[in-house]
Amino acid sequence: MGFFTITVVLFWIKTFIIYSTEFDLGISNGIQEFLLFFNPLSSGLIFLGLALFAKGRRMGIWIIIIDFILSFILYANVVYYRFNSDFITIPTLMQTSNFRSLGGSIADLIEIYDVLYLLDLIVIIVLYVILRKNWSEERMKYRKPLFVLITGVIVFAVNLSLAEIDRPQLLSRTFDNKYVVKYLGIYNFIIHDIIQSGETSTKRLAVDENDITRVESYTKNKYAEPNPAYFGSAKGKNVIKIHLESFQSFLIDYELHGEEVTPFLNSLVNDSRHEFTYFDNFFHQTGQGKTADSELTMDNSLYGLPEGAAFVTKGNNTYQSLPAIMNQQQGYTTAVFHGDDKSFWNREVIYKRFGIDKFYDASYYDMNEEDVINYGLKDKPFFKESIPLLEDLKQPFYAHLITLTNHHPYLIDSKDATIEPAETGDNSVDTYFQTARYLDESLEQFFTDLKAADLYEDSVIMIYGDHYGISDNHNKAMSEIIGEEITPLKNAHLQRVPFLIRIPGMEGQGTNHEFAGQIDVMPTLLHLLGIPAQDYIQFGTDLFSEQHKDFVSFRNGSFITKEYSYINGVYYNNETGEEIEPTKNMEKQKEQALYELKLSDELLNGDLLRFYTPNEDWKPVEYEAYQYGNPQNGE
Ligand code: GP9
Ligand code: MN
């Protein structure tokens, strides 16, 4: 037991030292610091504890072997991380390109001081050689090893609960590999990854080429013909797509303390010259993947998954995304701009599958402490620093800028706050208005700078909200804000997010009341560019088409039409808010909504696009050819 305890303690110390010195895990509070220190313990107890079942001296040998394996896994991740700033996962092991990206020279990544990571192994081997002679031949009573394993499990349970307090839904949503390592440790990360990729590959293997035909006939049947007045109207124009983080439509024209919260966006919406078309019945359709789901849906016209984020679990699927199509059909350069680490939401992996040429992540921005809050770079410096990057892009380009400051829990430095918080007493609701104001100001600044850089006039500009900012956990405060009780129906209708589009040389429509969702954006844009959209598998339809239906379905199977809504199993009249008995037609609509979600899930789970060729021009995306990260920052 003494030998075992020493090994566990040394293993624990070594793992913690490596976490702190080799990996950049972004520790931002006391719980995270504690968990980083605490998390190796359960793995040490459980894995090394298995050796205690062996008989006599063999137990010592097994402890050494297991300790060696654990150390080897940890060290392999250290070396991998030095180049990739990420951890080894099963899909990365399957991809030869990842080894190529190690630069072909693992030797460059190994440091002299790495031998120190062998120290604990040397100590226990020496100790074993000394102790070996008086090691008892007996097998330990099962009670002891069992006790060790149970303690390990309890320690793990405590660890997991503390992690869930600080980061709810850590495992079901898996935001970022670094988060799992930070909270649960590298070994639990590996176990989680093995389970997840096991599930993924079983689902992927259970399908064949015929499964895509059902999806294809459904989407082709749903296809809406382009509106001739719009088809091709944006051909060859730059497209600038601006993501408003956590921005709900109720903020538009909302007044707090007698002041407009978002005067700039309001001015775009209420502009009498109608530069933009504003869709006021546009909804987000995201699930647990939040931002990632909105990106997936807008660029692929697919729904996110019912659980987790497809960005993470389907990061290695085949896609036929908007950026790739724009690039192949019309030579667009495609780029994403975002002031957070490229590993968040597995973006650096999946963007390659989408065929995104350039990914300007945090490594391209000046992330000095002053300019960073919450998840990353503040929106004002983000937009400022994006201008020269945009200027350098080969035109025509498709540029997607993802903002960040208006993100839960809506933190803002007092010098950036230009409106007083609301006074509901619910902190994240109250400060939401301040970060939304900041976002609005940053947008105005960006427009001014785009004009100065001569990038405004001739560009398509698209603005959208990704998902709700105030969840239904805050219904009480929210009802104070909007002066109405938040019923399930009201809550569903609050899931509106803004969608604005400007097409250069064309007058906008002012406010368009079509009921629509993020799923409809890709077919709309394809038609604006003059690309026939019916070749591609898409669940949405063109917003400007005469055949577009006033219908929007949510990820959970609820849906909203112009007249009625189906929310959590109940039908409501939109006008009166009263429950209604469904007609045959409504029931049919419900079946269709569910069928559509099911097909989209089957497509993602079965990786069905690998069996689909949209047209003879289509070339599968060569994802291995893309490289992200700023070389000037050593990436
Ligand atoms: C992080 C950001 C936030 O990079 O996009 O994602 P969310 O938490 O909103 O899904
Ligand atoms: Mn978001």
Q: Which atom of ligand 1 lies at the shortest distance from residue 340's CA?
A: 4
Q: pLDDT class for 451, splitting at 50, 70, 90?
A: very high
**pLDDT surpassing 80 at residue 455:** yes
* DSSP letter (8 states) at residue 278: E
Q: pLDDT class for 100, splitting at 50, 70, 90?
A: very low
Q: Which burial class, exposed, middle or buried, applies to 345 when counting CB atoms under 10 A from its CB (0-12, 13-18, 19+)?
A: buried
Cβ(14) – ligand 1 distance below 6 Å: no
Radius of gyration of the chain (CA): 27
Distance 313 CA to ligand 2 centre (A): 18
Q: pLDDT class for 96, splitting at 50, 70, 90?
A: low
CA atoms within 13 A on the CB side of 593: 24
Distance 103 CA to ligand 1 centre (A): 31
**What pLDDT is attached to residue 617?**
94
Q: Which atom of ligand 1 lies at the shortest distance from residue 290's CA?
A: 10
Distance 235 CA to ligand 1 centre (A): 31
User: What is the torsional sign of CA 356, 357, 363, 365?
Assistant: negative
In CATH, what number does 234-633 get?
3.40.720.10
Q: Are strands 559-561 and 551-553 parallel, antiparallel or unpaired?
A: antiparallel
Whether omega for the bond prior to residue 396 falls within 30 degrees of 0, making it cis, is: yes
CB atoms within 10 A of CB 60: 22
204-209 long-range contacts, CB within 8 A, separation 24+: 204/605, 204/606, 204/607, 206/606, 207/602, 207/605, 207/606, 207/607, 207/608, 208/611, 209/611
What would the mean pLDDT of 136-141 be, rounded to a whole number?
83
Q: Are 292 and 310 in contact (CB under 8 A)?
A: yes
**105: its two tokens:** 């020279």
**pLDDT surpassing 50 at residue 101:** no
**What pLDDT is attached to residue 98?**
47
Distance 285 CA to ligand 1 centre (A): 15
Q: pLDDT class for 104, splitting at 50, 70, 90?
A: low
In DSSP terms, 375 is beta-bridged to: none
What would the mean pLDDT of 246-254 be, rounded to a whole number?
98
CA 377 to chain centre: 17
Distance 289 CA to ligand 2 centre (A): 9
Top mutation candidate among 404, 406, 411, 428 for ligand 1, by most atoms within 8 Å of CB: 404
Collapsing DSSP states into helix, strand and coil, what is residue 528?
helix
Distance 536 CA to ligand 1 centre (A): 28
Shortest CA distance to 556 belongs to which of 573, 565, 538, 568? 568
Shortest CA distance to 180 belongs to which of 36, 356, 18, 306? 36
Shortest CA distance to 234 belongs to which of 506, 28, 552? 506
**pLDDT surpassing 80 at residue 93:** no
Q: Which atom of ligand 1 lies at the shortest distance from residue 404's CA?
A: 2
- State the Cα–Cα distance between residues 299 and 464, nearest whole angstrom: 13
**pLDDT surpassing 60 at residue 592:** yes
- State the Cα–Cα distance between residues 80 and 83, nearest whole angstrom: 6
Collapsing DSSP states into helix, strand and coil, what is residue 25?
coil
* Max CA distance (Å), the chain: 92
- Determine what percent of the chain is predicted with pLDDT higher than 90: 83
What would the mean pLDDT of 389-408 be, rounded to a whole number?
97
Cβ(545) – ligand 1 distance below 6 Å: no
Residue ID of nearest Cα to ligand 1 atom 6: 291
In tens, the pLDDT along 537-559 reads 999 999 999 999 999 999 999 99
> Which-ligand-closest: CA of 293?
1
Top mutation candidate among 174, 285, 340, 351 for ligand 1, by most atoms within 8 Å of CB: 340
Cβ(340) – ligand 1 distance below 6 Å: yes
Cβ(375) – ligand 1 distance below 6 Å: yes
Q: Are 384 and 366 in contact (CB under 8 A)?
A: no
Cβ(291) – ligand 1 distance below 6 Å: yes
Q: Which burial class, exposed, middle or buried, applies to 355 when counting CB atoms under 10 A from its CB (0-12, 13-18, 19+)?
A: buried
**pLDDT surpassing 90 at residue 428:** no
Residue ID of nearest Cα to ligand 1 atom 9: 291
User: Letter for the amino acid at 484?
Assistant: E
Distance 150 CA to ligand 1 centre (A): 37
> Which-ligand-closest: CA of 289?
1
Cβ(179) – ligand 1 distance below 6 Å: no
- Determine what percent of the chain is predicted with pLDDT higher than 70: 98
E-strand ranges in 330-452 read: 333-338, 358-360, 372-373, 376-377, 397-402
Collapsing DSSP states into helix, strand and coil, what is residue 379?
helix
E-strand ranges in 369-498 read: 372-373, 376-377, 397-402, 459-465
Q: What is the DSSP string of 210-235?
A: HHHHHHHHHHHHH--PPPTTTTTTTT
Q: Are strands 358-360 and 559-561 parallel, antiparallel or unpaired?
A: unpaired
Q: Residues near 60 by Cβ (< 8 Å), separated by ≥ 6? A: 3, 128, 131, 132, 135
Top mutation candidate among 167, 177, 245, 467 for ligand 1, by most atoms within 8 Å of CB: 245
Catalytic residue chosen out of the listed positions 200, 291, 431, 541: 291
> Which-ligand-closest: CA of 497?
2
**pLDDT surpassing 80 at residue 95:** no
Cβ(359) – ligand 1 distance below 6 Å: no
Name the one residue in this structure whose structure tokens are 């379905």. 553
**pLDDT surpassing 90 at residue 505:** yes
Is 291 annotated as catalytic? yes
Sheet of 551-553: strands edge to edge?
Answer: 551-553, 559-561, 564-567, 570-573
Q: Which atom of ligand 1 lies at the shortest distance from residue 375's CA?
A: 1
Cβ(468) – ligand 1 distance below 6 Å: no
Q: Which atom of ligand 1 lies at the shortest distance from residue 347's CA?
A: 4
Q: Are 416 and 438 in contact (CB under 8 A)?
A: yes
> In Å, what is the CA distance from 334 to each residue of 530, 588, 613?
17, 40, 22
**What pLDDT is attached to residue 307?**
82
In tens, the pLDDT along 201-226 reads 898 999 999 999 999 999 999 999 99
**318: its two tokens:** 């085949």
Distance 290 CA to ligand 1 centre (A): 7
**What pLDDT is attached to residue 228?**
97
Q: Are 59 and 48 in contact (CB under 8 A)?
A: no
Q: Which burial class, exposed, middle or buried, applies to 395 when counting CB atoms under 10 A from its CB (0-12, 13-18, 19+)?
A: middle
B/e letters for 448-484, b = 16+ CB within 10 Å, e = fewer, are ebbeeeebbeebbbbbbbbbbbbeeebbebbeebeee
CA 337 to chain centre: 14
**pLDDT surpassing 50 at residue 384:** yes
Query: pLDDT: is 350 or 79 the higher one?
Result: 350
Residue ID of nearest Cα to ligand 1 atom 3: 291
Dihedral pair phi/psi, residue 321, rounded to 5°:
-90, 160
Mean of the per-residue pLDDT values for the chain?
94
* DSSP letter (8 states) at residue 420: P
In tens, the pLDDT along 280-308 reads 999 999 998 899 999 999 999 999 998 88
Cβ(290) – ligand 1 distance below 6 Å: yes
**What pLDDT is attached to residue 635?**
73
Distance 179 CA to ligand 1 centre (A): 13
**What pLDDT is attached to residue 172?**
77
- State the Cα–Cα distance between residues 96 and 85, nearest whole angstrom: 17
Q: What is the DSSP string of 290-325?
A: HHHHHHHHHHHS-PPPSSS-HHHHTTTS----HHHH
Tell me the pTM: 0.85
Q: Which atom of ligand 1 lies at the shortest distance from residue 289's CA?
A: 10
**pLDDT surpassing 60 at residue 569:** yes
CA atoms within 13 A on the CB side of 562: 7
**pLDDT surpassing 50 at residue 385:** yes
Residue ID of nearest Cα to ligand 1 atom 5: 291
Q: Which atom of ligand 1 lies at the shortest distance from residue 292's CA?
A: 10
> Which-ligand-closest: CA of 339?
1
Distance 467 CA to ligand 2 centre (A): 6
Q: Which atom of ligand 1 lies at the shortest distance from residue 402's CA?
A: 5
Kindly list the domain boundaries of the chain, sorted by start residue. Answer: 2-203, 234-633
**What pLDDT is attached to residue 105?**
63
> Which-ligand-closest: CA of 343?
1
Dihedral pair phi/psi, residue 384, rounded to 5°:
-55, -50
- State the Cα–Cα distance between residues 471 and 215, nearest whole angstrom: 33
